[in-house]
Structure 1
């Protein structure tokens, strides 16, 4: 007899199709597929993509695993096990390496993506979190601990530098053109701006009455950095020149990822309440385009411009059912 769990991906897709868009007209995101993640329990964190080999890597924090997903066949192809709360993840195409940051033991582990053989470990002590890859140098940036961003040389592998922060960093981005790091520091209710070369803080921005700033998106071309706040739930856009607020708008609750779609001039805000908010940047300011229903707890996502797809991670249901990756196609 088929189990209830086996039917969860179909049920989740049906529910989203039926309840889908909270607005009128054609939705800005269309559910194209669901990719089942069998035997994945607990919270799912961040994702990374290997474009050359059509692979999606998923950090499954509550399960202690990373799954490698074949995007074309929409199936899991392999798995890394034995991890300690993996949350941040990155991919280095020049070396075919997966970088996994673990909250549980503070380690950053490197794996050859093709074989999933371990290629090294860098111990950061505690709470290794978000991962960013500096495409200009091939170095890896990892937020960690009570306040720092480690600079890792994957060739050794080893930590070669540290950027100090006043508290634990959450979402951050690096603008290679200006050499600046923009870092969410929610325990201080601020966004720190740092000079990557000197490690010195050049500014700290704190929009009033805003707390719990976790995700961030950077539109370097337009000179804008977007911050996702949880209390109150808002997307706030700042000028990278001076931190001036250029727009602010309410969003769905419990956001953990934000991405900017430069082609359509819109933001995708994924939220744990079970929605993705689509927000347009217009000459008149930020405008709420639509709210796309997902699944409760599906707060992490990855927008891949090269594929023109938004991947949303939906954890397993409380009463059974597989975790899934929801694949959305933006329109028009």
Structure 2
């Protein structure tokens, strides 16, 4: 990985959470949890182009290209707020009540899926906007992925040390996979074409790959500490795992299993990232330094 650019985020303090991309307008949206803001970044010009303020711990974020709409989920007040992409003006609010977290877009229906509360994934119609359904779980969901072709959601539920599998059509749980020796499963990546999911555990720090059909483990490898995002690069059959210790682990899937290719130094606390295959770039969010220095988005280009 080559560090291609550093995009400064002035006046951003505290933890930075997840990101989303608008390919049509070349924008990156950054949920700045500790700052109560969302920044819109002009990727080509490598600078901030706008800001949403007044949020309470924004952590999950998504983008609806058909509507040019940004979706922001906030932990502090349990809200899901929608904004017009062109102006960043408010376009509606859905109150979920508690710990609104990760956001995923259901591309088949145009609805928004948001994990929240003590155990549920809300189904939101952005056109109204309103919650139109709930997919129940037994504890708070962290990272999750939706395989549209299979009609399945794979959900990390760390408080129960398991991965729940839900049928999107019925909303019912159809499987639960766990390993008694693995804890704190937060990020997840999906390779739908190969029928695999990969889960990042923090205790012990490992990336575990498994078959999406039945949870059979196909690979397991040590990781950097305090992981919070993992992305799959289908072109190179490779995972990028960002960790709060200040590193990105590059892990290849090979015929012989998972192979650690490289460890890229980032910055302490830079645990969230987003790989955008259409741009062939990995964006890593680095929080402001304890002893000075602006927060920033680190832009990495795969060298091979």
Cα distance between partner residues in 2 of 1:137 and 1:194? 17
Residue 56 of structure 2 corresponds to which residue in structure 1?
Answer: 84
Cα distance between partner residues in 2 of 1:59 and 1:195? 29
Cα distance between partner residues in 1 of 2:229 and 2:88? 26
Residue 4 of structure 2 corresponds to which residue in structure 1?
Answer: 32
Q: For CA contacts below 8 A with separation 6 or more, give which structure has more relative contact order.
A: 1
Residue 19 of structure 2 corresponds to which residue in structure 1?
Answer: 47
Q: Where in structure 2 are the equivalents of 1:217-228 lying within 5 Å?
A: 217-228=189-200
Q: Where in structure 2 are the equivalents of 1:97-176 lying within 5 Å?
A: 97-176=69-148
CA RMSD of aligned residues (A): 0.5
Query: Is 1:301 aligned with 2:273?
Result: yes
Cα distance between partner residues in 2 of 1:221 and 1:203? 21
Kept after mapping to 2: 8 A contact 1:171/1:214? yes
Deviation at 1:135, TM superposition (A): 1.2
Deviation at 1:207, TM superposition (A): 2.1
Superposed CA offset, 1:29-88 (max 9, x none):
100000000000000000000000000000000000000000010000110000000000
Secondary structure of the residue aligned to 2:292 is: coil
Cα distance between partner residues in 1 of 2:292 and 2:263? 26
Kept after mapping to 2: 8 A contact 1:207/1:245? no
| Structure 2 unaligned blocks of 5 or more | none
- Whose helix proportion is higher, 1 or 2? 1
Cα distance between partner residues in 1 of 2:177 and 2:48? 42
Kept after mapping to 2: 8 A contact 1:33/1:328? yes
Residue 12 of structure 1 corresponds to which residue in structure 2?
Answer: none
Cα distance between partner residues in 2 of 1:132 and 1:255? 19
Residue 180 of structure 2 corresponds to which residue in structure 1?
Answer: 208
Question: Which aligned segments of 4 or more residues in structure 1 are displaced greater than 2 angstroms?
Answer: none
Deviation at 1:255, TM superposition (A): 0.2
Cα distance between partner residues in 2 of 1:176 and 1:129? 21
Cα distance between partner residues in 2 of 1:293 and 1:208? 31
Cα distance between partner residues in 1 of 2:235 and 2:295? 30
Structure with the greater alpha carbon radius of gyration: 1
Deviation at 1:331, TM superposition (A): 1.9
Deviation at 1:241, TM superposition (A): 1.2
Kept after mapping to 2: 8 A contact 1:172/1:216? yes
Cα distance between partner residues in 2 of 1:216 and 1:49? 18
Secondary structure of the residue aligned to 1:258 is: strand
- TM-score, with normalisation over the residues of structure 2? 0.99
Residue 164 of structure 2 corresponds to which residue in structure 1?
Answer: 192
Secondary structure of the residue aligned to 2:44 is: coil
Secondary structure of the residue aligned to 1:31 is: strand
Residue 220 of structure 2 corresponds to which residue in structure 1?
Answer: 248
Cα distance between partner residues in 1 of 2:24 and 2:72? 19
Superposed CA offset, 1:264-306 (max 9, x none):
0000000000000000000000000010000000000000000
